[in-house]
Structure 1
Amino acid sequence: MPDLSGSTNHMTTTSKPSQGAQNKRRKAPRRAFGTVRQLSSGRWQARWEDSRGRTHSGPQTFESQRHADDWLTTVRADLVRGVWRSPDLGSATLATFMAQWIDQRTDLALSTREGYRTALARWIDRELMLEAPRGGKAIGVHLGAQPLNALSPATIREWYAAAHSTQVRERIDRSRNGQHRHAVQRQPTAPIRAWGRSNGWKVAETGRLPANFLDAWQAADSPGAPHAPASPAGADLSGRPAAVVVQAYRYLRACLNAALDDGLITANPCRVKRGGLVVAAERPHATPDEVRALCAAMPPRFAEAVDVAAWSALRAGELFALARRHVDLDAGTITVERALIDVAGHPRTFGSPKTVASLRTVALPSSVVQRLSDHMEVYTAEGPDALVFAHADGTSLSRDQRGQMFDRARRTVGRPDLRWHDLRHTGATLAARAGASIRELQHRLGHSTFAAAMRYQHASADRDRELAERLDVYAAADQPGNATVLRLA
């Protein structure tokens, strides 16, 4: 029946909102770690905040929110495990870190520190050339310019090969230039002198051409030159790297061990197989007769220095640091407690010997003691601190002065292959022939390891013949009816 009051009775119905509308109104759950946001480019950025309030962003933006979330998950897992590392760690270049590390090595002797710096400048913080196979273009390798955290075993292997290649090429070039210069000095030089005069050089009509003039002439493509020896088509890289390259690798490995300890890298990438091994060639040594000849060819003031060096096996720095108080003529011994430090660019001074094992007392043959006594009576000043081997004014002999004297002496006696350090090897060889054990050699040489002492042993044909003759005795003793009993000493 219709409502006569004129009002209309409306039935009110309430409809449920759609599922889509509910999802739109529902707030996203609060993120437990980090935040992500979409950039105007459409890519996603992930960020998180550490306990100190510093914000860290992802290494790059991500193509989707899910990828950004996944990255945050890995970061949180690393933090929980305690293995997270800031990407800024190890961002300094190798050359920068190594220079700082060398400066902070207070345990290094001055000469050793300079050796590290030389290796850094020559082999690490410069571009080396890696020979390409099959005559291709050489590749430039500058290891020192790379960040620490970018170094890998493959990077180090490439650098090692480039250092070896560069060292071989430089050796060939030095040999070629030396031969060329020698050929120039032996050939008619009138065209070369004429070129020099036409270019403003004051060049004599005869005589040896100055080195700086030859350098300028070679820089001008050597006009009028005799034929220069041809450079080899390719460097022979089949042999072991030179000792300077191996030493640079050892320094690099030690430096990166320090970076590992500092937490700047996660592993030391220096893993070149046998990369730190030096295969030393047989070292030359002098015979007793040659030692006497070398002494005679030296200036009288320093003749006995050769004699003592050859029979004591002291290092040059130890020998030229000896003072009167270090020599006991009655006991026939010399005591090593310091070394002469002679580094280019620094004043000569005295410092600690190479190692703790270098602090030692060495006995001399009685004949050498007598000659040393005669020398000290004539050439050594009075007083306990007076240097045994010194200039007339008591000052120490420099490395260059010693080298010049010894160079003339070795050429005089026909042994231009000898170096001063080979007198030390001579002393070790003579001691070994006299029957010194490895332990005795280790003490006499002042080495801290057996391996270092063994390097100075020299197997000669004469010594091998003596061994064969001794074996004959053992062989004869084993014959039937021979009752000789042999006992090993």
Structure 2
Amino acid sequence: MASKKRRFGRVRQLNSGRWQARYPGPDGIDRPAPFTFATRKEADRWLTLKEAEITRDGWWDPDAGSVPFRDYADKWVAERDLAPRSADLYQSLLRLHLNPTFGDIFLKDIRESDVRTWRAARRRAKVGKVTVAKAYRLMRSVLNTAVRDRLIRENPCRIEGAGQEHSEERPALSVAEVYRLAGAVPARYRALVLLATFGGLRWGELVGLRRHRLDLDRRTVTVRETAYELGGVRFGPPKSRASRRTVQLPGLIIADLRRHLADYAEEGPDGLVFVGKRGNPLRRTNFAAIWTSARAEAGLPGVHFHDLRHAGNTYAAEAGASLRELMNRMGHSSTRAALVYLHAREDRARELSDAVGERAAKELADSVRGRDVEPEETEESGDDDDGDPPSSGARI
């Protein structure tokens, strides 16, 4: 059926009986509506709204988002100045969690319902909650850029709270447990355990530590380099400015560090402090079996290596470190991250609770004793405290 003449666009009935709307884009291309309509009135209304939309918001090319998510996300990662570890994380999240679902879908075709379905499927597959949150945040960031590039009108990642991480808080090891672990690993890794704990260093910072950054006379360790495992072990600057720091070490571990430097570290000021038996840089995959055996021997099968850093920062907090001191020690620029360590172990919490109770009991007892002696003290002092003369019956 021939279309009826309109001021903007035109409408025609298809052989199926449904109605099609078409309109001229400012780019000179004649475009159909993305769907057909049951009635002519619905098609006319759609064209009226489309004209108003173009007038109000400017031209938006409906085909601009015809880019596969995989291609756009790869370009998004490549255009950012990311630390090697962050780039590796993003590529892993894309490869394992996002591209299998969204990789071949055009940006313009991703709907909020698609994102909800994907997230629910990841959770049902028992993917870690933290991993799902990281993948969701990455997708949201990629699509936020697509909105700014005017490839899509709005970001379909609008699930409230989906990008928040809620890691279960790890228990803080006692000092005795740390030393059990230090005694259970081979001798060449004893100092690694102690420095991870009492220096608060991350795994990559330990692997990348060089002799001239460890000043045992001043009892300091300085972080200026970290190791990244990307195929092999690569060395580079820490991931943030806050991570570049100098940490004061307790005298408790200095003798162990001196022995380690003498027996196991590479020679020369640039020599690595921690290496494997063959002199190669440490790798998580190679150390995993050693750590698993050590924690079993120590009776601590559920302990992660990162729990050592957590324990050391907890000790610092319990010793009275301020929030700023903890942030500097840990290499964090975020107060939120540092606050994770400002908690107390159960035994420390009980100790503090007992101390509060004892102080309150003492204050209460002093208050009661004060009330018991008050009448006698008043009688002896008479009215002298008020500066009035004594009564006629008073003894002077």
Q: What interval of TM-score do these two structures reach, taking the shorter chain for normalisation?
A: 0.7 to 0.9
The structure 2 residue matched to 1:468, chosen from 353, 359, 370, is 353
CA drift of 1:360 comes to 0.6
Instruction: Judge conservation of contact 1:257–1:268 (CA < 8 Å) in 2.
Output: yes
C-alpha distance in 2 between matches for 1:45 and 1:270:
30
**2: CA distance between counterparts of 1:306 and 1:117?**
31
* 1:228-377 pair list within 5 angstroms: 242-343=129-230, 346-377=231-262
Asked whether the 8 Å contact 1:386–1:394 carries over to 2, the reply is no
Where does the alignment leave 5 or more consecutive residues of structure 2 unmatched?
A: 371-396
* 1:156 matched residue in structure 2: 115
Q: Work out the CA distance in 2 between the residues paired with 1:67 and 1:462.
A: 70
Partners of 1:448 and 1:69 lie apart in 2 by 56
Secondary structure of 2:22 counterpart:
strand
Q: Which residue of 2 aligns with 1:90?
A: 65
Matches within 5 A, 1:148-187: 148-167=107-126
Number of the residue aligned with 1:420: 305
Question: Do the aligned partners of 1:75 and 1:84 also contact (CA within 8 Å) in 2?
Answer: no
Q: Report how far residue 294 of structure 1 moved.
A: 1.8
Partners of 1:435 and 1:314 lie apart in 2 by 20
Conservation of the 8 A alpha-carbon contact between 1:46 and 1:61: no
Post-superposition CA distance 1:383-436 (Å, at most 9, x none): 221111123664311111222221111111111111111111111122122222
Using the TM superposition, give the Cα deviation of residue 44 of structure 1 relative to its aligned residue in structure 2, in angstroms.
6.5
Q: Distance in 2 between matches of 1:482 and 1:445?
A: 48
- Secondary structure of the residue that 1:361 maps to in structure 2? strand
1:403 touches 1:420 (CA, 8 Å); kept in 2? no
CA 1:37–1:314: 2 relative to 1, 3 Å:
closer
Match in the other structure for 1:100:
75
Question: Separation in 2 of the partners of 1:276 and 1:62?
Answer: 38
Q: Distance in 2 between matches of 1:463 and 1:469?
A: 10
Partner residue of 2:363?
477
Residue in 2 aligned with 1:122?
96
**Displacement of 1:73:** 4.5
- The answer to whether 1:431 aligns with 2:390 is no
CA distance in 1, matches of 2:303, 2:39: 72
8 Å contact from structure 2 (residues 21, 36) kept in 1 = yes
| Distance in 1 of aligned mates of 2:240 and 2:369 | 52
User: Is this contact kept in 2: 1:285–1:418, CA < 8 A?
Assistant: no
**Equivalent-residue separation in structure 2 for 1:450 and 1:150 (angstroms):** 39
Report the Cα offset of residue 481 of structure 1. Answer: 5.8
Task: State the SS of the aligned residue for 2:356.
Answer: helix
Find the aligned partners of 1:449 and 1:438 in 2 and give their Cα distance.
10
Structure 1: gaps of 5 or more residues: 1-29, 127-141, 169-240, 484-489
> What is the alpha-carbon distance in structure 1 between the residues aligned to residue 173 and residue 11 of structure 2?
79
Name the aligned partner's letter for residue 77 of structure 1.
Answer: A
CA–CA separation in structure 2 for the residues paired with 1:103 and 1:394: 34
Tell me which moved more, 308-317 or 254-263.
Answer: 254-263
Structure showing the higher helix proportion among its residues: 2
> 1:46 corresponds to which residue?
22
Determine helix, strand or coil for the equivalent of 1:167.
coil
| Residue 341 of structure 1, CA deviation | 0.7
Higher mean C-alpha displacement, 249-258 vs 452-461: 452-461
Shift of 1:267: 2.1
Whether the aligned pair in 1 keeps the contact of 2:208 and 2:225 (CA below 8 Å) is yes
1:80 is paired with a residue of what secondary structure?
helix
Measure the CA separation in 1 of the matches of 2:89 and 2:124.
21
Q: Secondary structure at the match of 1:381?
A: coil
The structure with the larger Rg is 1
Gap change, CA 1:86 and 1:310, over 3 Å in 2: same
Q: CA deviation at 1:372?
A: 0.9
Matched residues, percent identical?
A: 36
- 1:340–1:351: 8 Å Cα contact kept in structure 2? yes
Counterpart residue number, 2:382: none
Contact 1:324 1:388 in 2 (8 A): yes
Q: Secondary structure at the match of 2:232?
A: coil
CA displacement at 1:274 relative to structure 2: 1.8
Give the TM-score, by structure 2 length: 0.81
Tell me, in whole angstroms, the C-alpha distance in 2 between the residues paired with 1:475 and 1:37. 87
1:81 aligns with 2:56: yes
Q: Structure 1 residues 73 and 434, CA, compared in 2 at 3 Å: closer, same or farther?
A: same
Q: Paired residue for 2:30?
A: 56
Structure 2 distance, partners of 1:278, 1:66, is 49
How many Å separate the matches in 1 of 2:12 and 2:176? 88
| Kept in 2: contact 1:410–1:418 (CA 8 A) | yes
Separation of aligned partners in 2, 1:249 and 1:49: 34
**Contact persistence 1:332–1:365 (CA under 8 A):** yes
Structure 1 pair 49–317 and aligned structure 2 pair: CA distance change class (3 A) = closer
Query: Deviation of residue 349 (structure 1)?
Result: 0.9
TM-score (norm 1): 0.67
